[in-house]
Amino acid sequence: MAVLLLAEIAGGALALDATAKAVTAAKSLGDVTVLVAGPAAAGQAASQIDGVAKVVVADDAAYANGLAEPVADLVVSLAGNYEHIVAPSTASAKNILPRVAALLDVMVLSDVTAVVDGSTFERPIYAGNAMQTVKSNDSKKVLTVRTTAFDAAGQGGSGAVEAIAAAGNAGLSEWVEDKVAASDRPELTSAKIVVSGGRGVGSEENFAIIEALADKLGAAVGASRAAVDSGFAPNDWQVGQTGKVVAPELYIAVGISGAIQHLAGMKDSKVIVAINKDEEAPIFQVADYGLVADLFEAVPDLTKALKE
């Protein structure tokens, strides 16, 4: 049985962490061939992931911006040889794989958190308030895997790398621009520590105290939907059911009430710290350490205390 794994490409390079986590999930299903719709260097990097049997690289201008239509056509052109088509649950793969599945006339399984066997998978529904085990009766299984549920495969692979032809571009859509904020901070979904701010932070300027604590800890910065909707933080910081799912060693929630939609994105964190002035806030029900305090005092104090 063979698995085709769509590598995650970000900014023209392999997104190693997300891809290596998907490799761990895919390995249990069969021999893994990684498809890189991108530059040869990304293919080389993918071949070094432990457990990768082979890498195929389609380097073509059509794939430069990850547009769903041409990438889906490429995946479908290769699908004949594989029983499973897998990708990490990133915004990009979640845009592409359902399109692939429909073109193959099969269902897609989004956000798989465990592989039971070759056709049975576990996935969260209702913002993680229920876990469903589903069995696919389709001839091919198309799935995205939640990266927080799998450890990254290590290095040391030596899969063969083969260049393949592109599969054309129907030109249904066209890239205009990306607005990606450059940041020295670790990436939100793979960071060891995440400090998130909510509506309680009050303004974009005030978010600086959240960022100062994050930088002290070498952490990524997250936000609740309310903070993003209010313009305190950019959209790609949103953690939750409809934002990013994170599971760091330490998650510090500041001025966040703990709505189920937010918890859906962080409740698998190892240690959760909550700082909130309302002792009744539901976030305290999932926190390992709760501190009832005004964040404008507690957060700068915490940043300072950590300096010593």
Ligand X SMILES: Cc1cc2nc3c(=O)[nH]c(=O)nc-3n(C[C@H](O)[C@H](O)[C@H](O)COP(=O)(O)OP(=O)(O)OC[C@H]3O[C@@H](n4cnc5c(N)ncnc54)[C@H](O)[C@@H]3O)c2cc1C
φ, ψ dihedrals at 81, nearest 5° = -90, 0
Task: Establish whether 134 is an annotated binding residue.
Answer: no
Closer Cβ to another protein, 41 or 107, answer by number: 107
Q: Does 225 bind ligand X (CB under 6 A)?
A: yes
Q: Select the span of 73-81, 166-174, 175-183, 254-262 touching ligand X (CB under 6 A).
A: 254-262
Residue 137 CB, shortest distance to ligand X, in Å, is: 9
Q: Does 117 bind another protein (CB under 8 A)?
A: no
Amino acid identity of 273?
V
Task: Establish whether 89 is an annotated binding residue.
Answer: no
Task: Establish whether 164 is an annotated binding residue.
Answer: no
Task: Establish whether 224 is an annotated binding residue.
Answer: yes
Residue 171 CB, shortest distance to ligand X, in Å, is: 25
| Cα–Cα distance, 94 to 18 (Å, whole number) | 13
Amino acid identity of 267?
K
Which of 52, 75, 86, 256 is close enough to bind ligand X by CB under 6 A? 256
Alpha-carbon dihedral sign for residues 244, 245, 248, 251: positive
| H/E stretch holding 225 | helix 225-229
Q: Which of residues 61-100 bind another protein (CB under 8 A)?
A: 65, 67-69, 72, 90-92, 94-100
Token readout for 104 is 């193959």
| Cα–Cα distance, 32 to 40 (Å, whole number) | 18
Rg (CA), the chain: 20
Residue set of the binding site for FAD: 199, 224-225, 238-242, 255-262, 276
Residue set of the binding site: 199, 224-225, 238-242, 255-262, 276
